[in-house]
Amino acid sequence: MQKSIYVSGPISKVAGGNVEAFARASALVSCAGDAVNPHDICADVPSGSTWTVYMRYCVARLALCHEVVMLPGWWRSRGARWELVIALMLGLRVYFSERQWQRLSIR
C-alpha cells in the first residue's frame, strides 16, 4: 500500500485559494506517495458552502493519510492549524519546510 501525504496550508485568505502552492507541494511529494490536495478533495463541494463543510471533507481525508506537509504561512490559517492538531493527535509525521518535503523522495 502506497502511503498518502496530505498537503495543508492557507486557502481562504490567499488570492486564488493558494492553488499554485498546493500544486507545487503536491508535485514535490508525489514521488514519495499519493499527494492528497484539499483542492481536489473539495472539488465537488457546492460553491458557497461554509468553512465547516469544507473542513469536514478535508479532515475525513486527512485521517486516512500517513504524513502531512505544511505549506508556508500555515500558522495564519485556522484550518491548517486544526489539521496540524489532528495530525499530531493521530501520530502522523509532519513536515514543515520544503527541504523536509524533498527528503520524502529519498526515503
Give residue-wise pLDDT tens across range 4-41.
999 999 998 888 889 999 999 999 999 889 999 999 99
Burial grade of 96 (CB within 10 A; 0-12, 13-18, 19 or more): middle
Q: Give residue-wise pLDDT tens across range 50-66.
A: 999 999 999 999 999 99
pLDDT band at 101 (very low <50, low <70, confident <90, very high): low
Give me the domain span that covers residue 12: 4-104
In total, how many domains does the chain have?
1
> What is the DSSP track for 81-106?
HHHHHHHHHTT-EEE-SHHHHHHHTT
Q: Give residue-wise pLDDT tens across range 70-99.
A: 999 999 999 999 999 999 999 999 999 777
pTM of the model: 0.90
How far apart CA 29 and CA 102 sit, in angstroms, is 7
CATH of the domain at 91: 3.40.50.450
